[in-house]
Structure 1
């Protein structure tokens, strides 16, 4: 019998979290940075949203979607706190210790991108509040404060105290929002037109074929056969409800139950299959295995992760060589034509940090693309890509990959924590040639290079 793993879901740092240790593990100590003349140039984060409400609806379930605030698939209070804590760690490492980002939010430094789902948009906002907490928002001067009065406010006929409002806004350093709460834009793209973070949902027959291939793989069939009894038992206890009448396999039914159980346990609710310990363990295990077998399938991951990492190759190369006009033009063009990234092009020259709030599916095929996949990403998982300048490196730069606060040692980089930028870009671009997305789904991916990538 395959070993059942119990991946912790949705834990967030408690009072025992050692930010100094995290910084040393993830980045090397600040003293080491100074001693070796290293300099962090660019930071990219891809995360999974925090804890959410259930997605799948089943007959007889204890906690149906309507019993959760917001309904199905919404970020819970636990999920908000998870990403807030992630943001606090980022603030400790990249603002207080490495002095990489400014103390207060600057749109020319930070670009936040999410999928179209409320849970990723809310996760991004929650994390940003951890990075830039209350007290770091915009302030008004005495001059522009008066201009903040609404046009036509005099027509409210005494419903508000206009004199008191004018007196408050006449003061210097008045917070634009109460408590100087910062506000942040989070950019997105439609689900079926998001090659950056949702390539698996594109309206392309080739994508459907890859997913079907993964579901018909010998490995998928092995788990279906091995747990046939448990799969049938789960389907009997909780028949799956599909409003549109689409058929669903018993394997996916039990895997979906396992996903729901993780949501319920994280939220402190009585979970599905309560009292069925073995079936609960199998359901949670199959939930993870389905993520690995389908979204972590090598062929699927190579396709679905290709556009993102091809984009990163262009962006990292441009950040490493800021005086190369051709590289800057290529990076600008890449951002300008990519759905959800157009506004990033306007700040490209000064951007330091890009955050991408996504899903376990996204992180699964990104990690497989890097050959660093081990198990389904828990709630609020993070993958950081750091670009460093280092005169000791042959190329003058290296990249670190950090997953859930531990550096990834990847086999294609000889298991080094610090991977030379030239090797990283070579790896990303060689993988892109194996199954070019623009040839498989020409209508779904932006045209970056009309013919071949220009030599620079």
Structure 2
């Protein structure tokens, strides 16, 4: 029998090769609950809790309609992807433990899955119960932000309030802050606490309740600006990336983990959508961690969408959309540094800087009060203007195949940070095996990043053992990353060549090279024909996309030769270049040596 891994690889690869277009395979949807009553009223508010049928913070009939409409939109958008009927294996729904988010999820599902056929349990009732999962608010760590159990985050918030931007906004709107304090009966009012006043007035206006005389259109507009800024302060304005690692990056990490999991072939996988019902701050925290937040409070029933596609070459890409207006199609969102249809591996590479590795550790406050990001600007001042963290990533951009085919290797050193002034002053330098390199280097710059690219010839790359990229600035400890090219470092792939049994061979002989490695690597697979007399002949087989299994990663390459060459005892070698290693791992097969693994079919 052909080994199961070979059959699986060939089956998957053939399906991918025949695909004419991208195929949607998985969706994550995060939405804010629908319209609600205010969370609370200010002391002089004429509309206290008794003015609202269900009290404060509860989903209104308008909010139910908004969510029902969102569910109908999702039904239309994913028709043909989701079943017409509810299938518990296809969708998982999670909500925070708040009445308004639980009810929003239920109203949404009523629009997404109106019962049909056998799922109708009562005539003329176009509704069916669908489970919505939650955890108690005290245990919520995924969907409710900002989380308040992080000393470092509290420190960052205190530092934010001393930034020039925060002070400027406070000074600019001090007149409206004073007016609100005077008219509302609140003892303490500031840029952040004005949010609750605006929320009450905004909700009342949506429900045609009268406003006090002091609430003019100009006052409401200024309160709206302060409301949006108070939300920005929680997740951005100052050290946005570090705030993200302590807040929205938690949710981003879970979403990225699921995207990666859903890209791995699994014939038993039936899940197609995860639906998350939460709050405006949840949407903002997530968008800020992706650096796509537009600075405006997400409206009721707004929706952030992630779509995972399998491309026609069997690679995967992620597309993001934001629905904040029910009258138009969702707006595409572009992850900074990537295309609209972002390759999954690039999506994971870019977002990893906003995802905490150990949040509990990162939440700790160092006694010296310095920024504790992976790379920072040390100084005696605990809050230097240029103290924003910078991160570095050094990658070999060129695949092994590209290096051999195009005779060049491209390496990219990317510096990212929130403080553009710091980035502008950084000098990026390169070394190869300890010697400085100044040729064949280009540097480009965009908002939030500087990129230095070094191009080597294949021979230069083959001779190199270590490449070092350094970022330097006056008063800053250099940030350094090293890329070491392996010299058969123990992660060598296992390579075997398989052939059909002799009686099954007709006019052609098909050889299958199976490459297995416990770790994922980039591969370039070539075939070598030798008969001992003529010069060797190199060729590429049909190489398939790596497939993940429980044991590791497998790649197959198929090569077809003539029966005449096989009978004349040609030697066929499968040469596998892996990772950044120079020397290939080789497995050979020939009829004379009788050393190929025979496969029954």
TM over 0.5: yes
1:396 equivalent in structure 2 = 315
CA drift at 1:36: 3.0
Give matches, 1:14-413, under 5 Å: 36-95=20-79, 99-135=80-116, 138=119, 175=121, 179=125, 181-240=127-186, 248-271=188-211, 275-297=215-237, 298=240, 299-323=242-266, 349-374=269-294, 375-392=296-313, 396-404=315-323, 405-413=330-338
Measured in 1, the distance between the counterparts of 2:358 and 2:212 equals 42
Measured in 2, the distance between the counterparts of 1:251 and 1:428 equals 30
Measured in 2, the distance between the counterparts of 1:61 and 1:136 equals 50
Q: Secondary structure at the match of 1:41?
A: strand
CA drift at 1:71: 0.8
Give matches, 1:412-427, under 5 Å: 412-413=337-338, 416-427=339-350
Measured in 2, the distance between the counterparts of 1:391 and 1:177 equals 45
8 Å contact 1:193–1:202 — kept in the other structure? Answer: no
CA drift at 1:441: 4.9
Shift in alpha-carbon separation, 1:251–1:135, aligned structure 2, 3 A: same
Q: Secondary structure at the match of 1:200?
A: coil
8 Å contact 1:59–1:238 — kept in the other structure? Answer: yes
Residues 256-297 of structure 1: per-residue CA shift (max 9 Å, x gap): 222222212222222356652322211122111111122344
Residues 146-203 of structure 1: per-residue CA shift (max 9 Å, x gap): xxxxxxxxxxxxxxxxxxxxxxxxxxxxx26862521111111222322211252343
Q: Secondary structure at the match of 1:407?
A: strand
8 Å contact 1:105–1:182 — kept in the other structure? Answer: no
Confirm or deny that 1:431 pairs with 2:354.
yes
Shift in alpha-carbon separation, 1:135–1:283, aligned structure 2, 3 A: same
Greater strand percent: which structure? 2
Q: Secondary structure at the match of 2:87?
A: coil
Residues 94-152 of structure 1: per-residue CA shift (max 9 Å, x gap): 02xxx11111111111111111111111111111111012546735xxxxxxxxxxxxx
Q: Secondary structure at the match of 1:82?
A: helix
1:163 equivalent in structure 2 = none
Q: Which structure has the bigger radius of gyration?
A: 2
Residues 305-343 of structure 1: per-residue CA shift (max 9 Å, x gap): 12222222221111111249xxxxxxxxxxxxxxxxxxx
- Asked which structure has the greater RCO (Cα within 8 Å, sep 6+), the reply is 1
CA drift at 1:47: 0.8
Deviates more, 1:61-70 or 1:274-283: 274-283
Q: Secondary structure at the match of 2:317?
A: strand
8 Å contact 1:108–1:351 — kept in the other structure? Answer: yes
Shift in alpha-carbon separation, 1:265–1:359, aligned structure 2, 3 A: same
Measured in 1, the distance between the counterparts of 2:195 and 2:144 equals 21
Q: Secondary structure at the match of 2:111?
A: helix
Shift in alpha-carbon separation, 1:431–1:283, aligned structure 2, 3 A: closer
Say what the alpha-carbon RMSD is for the aligned residues.
2.6
Q: Secondary structure at the match of 1:43?
A: strand
Measured in 2, the distance between the counterparts of 1:378 and 1:318 equals 31
Greater helix percent: which structure? 1
8 Å contact 1:136–1:181 — kept in the other structure? Answer: no
Deviates more, 1:367-376 or 1:289-298: 289-298
Shift in alpha-carbon separation, 1:202–1:275, aligned structure 2, 3 A: closer
1:342 equivalent in structure 2 = none
Measured in 2, the distance between the counterparts of 1:271 and 1:407 equals 37
Measured in 2, the distance between the counterparts of 1:91 and 1:301 equals 32
Measured in 2, the distance between the counterparts of 1:72 and 1:210 equals 31
Measured in 2, the distance between the counterparts of 1:365 and 1:359 equals 10
CA drift at 1:301: 2.7
8 Å contact 2:67–2:301 — kept in the other structure? Answer: yes
Deviates more, 1:211-220 or 1:370-379: 211-220
Gapped runs of 5+ residues in structure 1? 1-33, 140-174, 241-246, 325-347, 443-453
Measured in 2, the distance between the counterparts of 1:300 and 1:376 equals 18
CA drift at 1:409: 1.9
Measured in 2, the distance between the counterparts of 1:50 and 1:386 equals 23
